[in-house]
Amino acid sequence: MSEPSWTSGEIPQDRPNAARMYDYSLGGFHNFAADRRAAEQVVAVFPDLPLALQANRGFLRRAITTLVTQGIDQFLDIGSGIPTVGNVHEAAQKLNPTARVVYVDIDPIAVHHSELILRANPNAAVIQADARRTEYILNHPKTSGLLDFSRPLAMLIVAVLHFVPDDAEAYGLVRVLRDALPSGSYLALSHASTEGITRETADKMEQIYARTATPFKFRTRPQVESFFDGLDLLDPGVVYMPLWRPDGPDDLLLDEPERTTGLAGVGRKP
């Protein structure tokens, strides 16, 4: 069978990874058989996965709306993923056509596909990098070319840090990136938590992800809250993703938000 246009022969197709498993679970088609098998294994132990991912995308969209409304017009999106409906630049530029977005992802397919859709967009760019390479990201010409660090900006680290299991690395990268932001900037973050899920199910999911290129770690509520230390949390604080400023009473899982396990919040740097 010939290669699809969105990939290249250099990408190993037999090792699943988070970007392509997420794409598959959201109904996308930039994934391989191994990604689909792994995603289905996760769904077998955690059937609410597709709903949780949709709730995560809902949080991301509502956070962007809130941030643009607060006057933010530049975004650094770490672990941005394979483009899907309602990308950050689309949501932000719908409200402010001059909004600027720099996407960062470790996955070459996410980056390649982002490059394709951003070709005609001078206000958005993508960098392939591991989030742990903070200096590389901050000093990259695309970052300095699009983002002005003398003015407030928003850093999005949405559904990513559970793929950085080492605590020192996860908290370390957030600290370095936050330190680079000027006062009045924001951090929007979501993270799979140990709430709303049994330890047994969490263990099974972590074991499946341990066999992929992107191991996974659930963190407790206090551990998720710690990413916001020193920031002023916007209302309603760190909450289950559906509860973060829902659009209305019919929002997904508003009545059973714990089914997502994901906690989310937005903090402002004083």
Toward ligand SAM, which CB reaches closer, 79 or 265?
A: 79
Query: Smallest gap, in angstroms, from Cβ of residue 25 to ligand SAM?
Result: 9
CB of 270 to ligand SAM, least distance (A): 25
How many of the other CB atoms lie within 10 Å of CB of 165? Answer: 17
Site residues for ligand SAM, 187-216, by CB under 6 A, read 214
| Shorter beta-carbon distance to ligand SAM: residue 108 or 184 | 108
152 contacts: CB under 8 Å, gap ≥ 6: 71, 72, 181, 182, 183, 184, 185, 186, 269
Question: Binders of ligand SAM among 131-160, rule CB under 6 A?
Answer: 131-132, 158-160
Give 93 or 214: the residue with its C-beta nearer to ligand SAM: 214
Question: Distance of alpha carbon 78 from its chain centroid, rounded?
Answer: 7
Structural contact between residues 191 and 219, judged by C-beta atoms closer than 8 angstroms:
yes
Query: Which are the contacts of 92, defined by CB distance < 8 A and separation ≥ 6?
Result: 64, 67, 68, 73, 75, 99, 101
Strand-pairing partners, residue 191, are 263
- Which residue from 19, 101, 239, 241 is in contact with ligand SAM, where contact means CB under 6 A? 19
Site for ligand SAM in 89-108 (CB under 6 A): 105-107
User: By CB under 6 A, is residue 35 in contact with ligand SAM?
Assistant: no
60 sits near ligand SAM (criterion: CB under 6 A):
yes
Of 31-39, 64-72, 78-86, 134-142, which segment contacts ligand SAM by CB under 6 A? Answer: 78-86
Q: Which of 81, 152, 257, 267 binds ligand SAM (CB under 6 A)?
A: 81
| Binding status of residue 225 toward ligand SAM by CB under 6 A | no
Which residues lie closer than 8 Å to 44 by C-beta, 6 or more apart? none
The binder of ligand SAM chosen from 110, 126, 187, 239 (CB under 6 A): 110
Nearest approach, Cβ of residue 79 and ligand SAM (Å) = 3
From candidates 79, 152, 265, 267, binder to ligand SAM by CB under 6 A = 79
What the block records as the tokens of 146 is: 């699009």
First vs last Cα of the chain: how many Å apart? 55
Query: Phi first, then psi: what are they for 99, rounded to 5°?
Result: -60, 145
Give dist(CA 105, CA 127) in Å, integer.
7
* Number of residues this chain uses to bind ligand SAM (CB under 6 A): 22
Residues 6+ apart with CB under 8 A from 239: 257, 263, 264, 265
* Binding-site ranges for ligand SAM (CB under 6 A): 18-19, 22, 56-57, 60, 79-81, 105-107, 110, 130-132, 158-160, 163-164, 214
